[in-house]
Amino acid sequence: MNLKISALEFIEEAKNGNISVEEFVSTTLERINSVDDKLHAFLSVNDNVIEQAHNIDKKIKSGEKVGDCFGMPISIKDNMCIKDTKTTCASKMLENFVAPYDATVISKLKKQDAIFIGKVNMDEFAMGLTTEFSAFGPSKNPWNIEHVPGGSSGGSAVSVSSYECIASLGSDTGGSVRNPASFCSTVGYKPTYGLISRFGLISYANSIEQIGPLTRTVKDTAFMLNLIAGVDPNDNTTVNNNNENYLENIDSGIEGKKIGIITEMVGDGIDPEVMTATKEAISKLEGLGATCEEVSLEMVKYSVAAYYTITATEAGSNLARYDNLRYGYEMPVEGYEFNSYISKARKKFGPEVTRRMIIGGFVPSAGHAGKYFLKAMKVKSKLTKEINEAFKKFDLLIAPTVPILPFKIGEKIDDPVSLFLVDINTVTANLTGKPAISIPFKIVNGLPIGIQLMANSMNDKMLLQAAHALEKSVTLPEVPI
């Protein structure tokens, strides 16, 4: 059984009866059993999937209507609620939390006969970009297990790139889908803000985060987007996409498109290998008929500081709900005063979450808000103006997804600013609400490099067409695990 096929290939084969869904899912579980001890992509594996796959096979054979996923095994980042399933957010605080309802993305995929093969690892409450801040231990990069897989949706990227599932859903607050996609050589998509419902996603920084797919191909991402995008009455920030078909005309190519190279994202601090790969990507796009020229977005220099100020503030508010009464773990209430009980219970948060909550209390507080939070919001506004201006001239913007290669586990964990700067090329899309995609482009010294394309809001379809064109221009080796 070939587990390396794309989602669309799987669907075609399953629909035509060329493969048994049960056999495919069973082989996928064997794969997880054989490699996940090394990789630690999964926090939990769903034991009931074989029966579900068997039933889908029966429906296919009897000619009954089957959902568009045809039993495709998908992994889900462990910050999205699946009813009656543990949703831990990779935190000791939620270690035993069982979700009482489905996130909207989950309901939509269930209706299409997707199989949720397991919940995958992440940085605790999505605060991090390596999965080293997971309370249950880091995931490993399948290209070199001494290196980080990126994050916070690291488990999602590892599970897709190492053939432990066909596709995954992650969440992207500052690059948390695109960064691990780049580090593990998968496609990672952050849609226009509001395109996908966040109902049932455990909140970190609501004003900028989005759920996004990680897949083997751009076409698979377009397929996933068709299934999960659209208005949701349970999320008032969702936008009407008029049932756009993102797969239709995906082969349109990129001829005549104008692409801006963001100078602030290819300057100081970029690894020479990443710079070379970026130049090669630009040449390929020009060879496909696009024109590329430099564009400056001055506020990018301040974007990481603005991003961490805003997200810490929103996280401080969002995490106030973890009082160990509504959510939490077994800790007797007897003998405690109300506040001291909550404060003691919240010691279960890991060190990074605690640090960000302290910052989240500090930067918007009286006496400091003007210096930090309000300035961060002003940078966000000015950056949005700058990028809107750039999109009057350009159809797309390009930069490497991450300015450096995947680094070793533990290498940056004690240097927060060095870790912050890994996000420099990804946070702009979140702060401005624009769609962005990471496309696997090159493997250097056994480590992947991804290229990021960005488009204006609601131009997701054109962005996927461009990404597909770039993807088709490269052939990459298989993951060595």
Residues in the chain: 481
Can you tell me the distance from the alpha carbon of 97 to that of 261, in angstroms, rounded to the nearest whole number?
45
Q: If binding is defined by CB under 8 A, does position 417 make contact with other proteins? A: yes
Q: If binding is defined by CB under 8 A, does position 133 make contact with other proteins? A: no
**What tokens appear for 443 in the block?**
């493997």
Residue in 94, 152, 150 with CA at minimum distance from that of residue 123: 152
* Catalytic residue list contains 107: no
Per CB under 8 A, the list member of 54, 59, 110, 375 interacting with other proteins is 375
Q: Which of 20, 91, 139, 152 is catalytic?
A: 152
Contact 269, 403 (CB under 8 A): yes
Q: If binding is defined by CB under 8 A, does position 378 make contact with other proteins? A: yes
Quick one: which segment of 25-33, 43-51, 147-155, 229-237 binds other proteins (CB under 8 A)?
A: 229-237
When the beta carbons of 126 and 379 are compared against other proteins, the nearer one is 379
Per CB under 8 A, the list member of 3, 45, 145, 305 interacting with other proteins is 305
* Catalytic residue list contains 434: no
User: Who's near 83: CB < 8 A, 6+ residues apart?
Assistant: 99, 100, 101, 102, 106
Q: Give least dist CB 358 to other proteins, A.
A: 5
Q: Assign 262 to helix, strand or coil.
A: strand
| Residues contacting other proteins: total by CB under 8 A | 64
Can you tell me the distance from the alpha carbon of 408 to that of 144, in angstroms, rounded to the nearest whole number?
9
Q: Which of 107, 139, 168, 176 is catalytic?
A: 176
Largest CA distance in the chain: 72
Q: If binding is defined by CB under 8 A, does position 476 make contact with other proteins? A: no
Q: Which residues in 314-333 contact other proteins (CB under 8 A)?
A: 316, 320, 323-326, 328-331, 333
**What tokens appear for 184 in the block?**
């593990």
Q: What is the CA radius of gyration of the chain?
A: 21
* Catalytic residue list contains 152: yes
Contact 168, 139 (CB under 8 A): no
**What tokens appear for 385 in the block?**
């103006």
When the beta carbons of 433 and 450 are compared against other proteins, the nearer one is 433
Per CB under 8 A, the list member of 189, 308, 394, 407 interacting with other proteins is 308
CA dist list (Å): 435 to 284, 321, 357:
22, 30, 28
Can you tell me the distance from the alpha carbon of 185 to that of 408, in angstroms, rounded to the nearest whole number?
16
Q: Give least dist CB 305 to other proteins, A.
A: 5
Q: Which of 20, 77, 303, 380 is catalytic?
A: 77
**What tokens appear for 175 in the block?**
């690059």
Q: Are strands 187-190 and 73-77 parallel, antiparallel or unpaired?
A: unpaired
When the beta carbons of 14 and 315 are compared against other proteins, the nearer one is 315
Mask: binding to other proteins, 328-357, rule CB under 8 A, as x and -? xxxx-x--xxxxxxxxx-xx-x-x--xx-x
Query: Hey, which residues are catalytic here?
Result: 77, 152, 176
Which spans of this chain sit near other proteins (rule: CB under 8 A)?
A: 98, 100-101, 233-234, 236-237, 299, 301-302, 305-306, 308-309, 316, 320, 323-326, 328-331, 333, 336-344, 346-347, 349, 351, 354-355, 357-363, 365, 371-372, 374-382, 384, 414, 416-417, 420
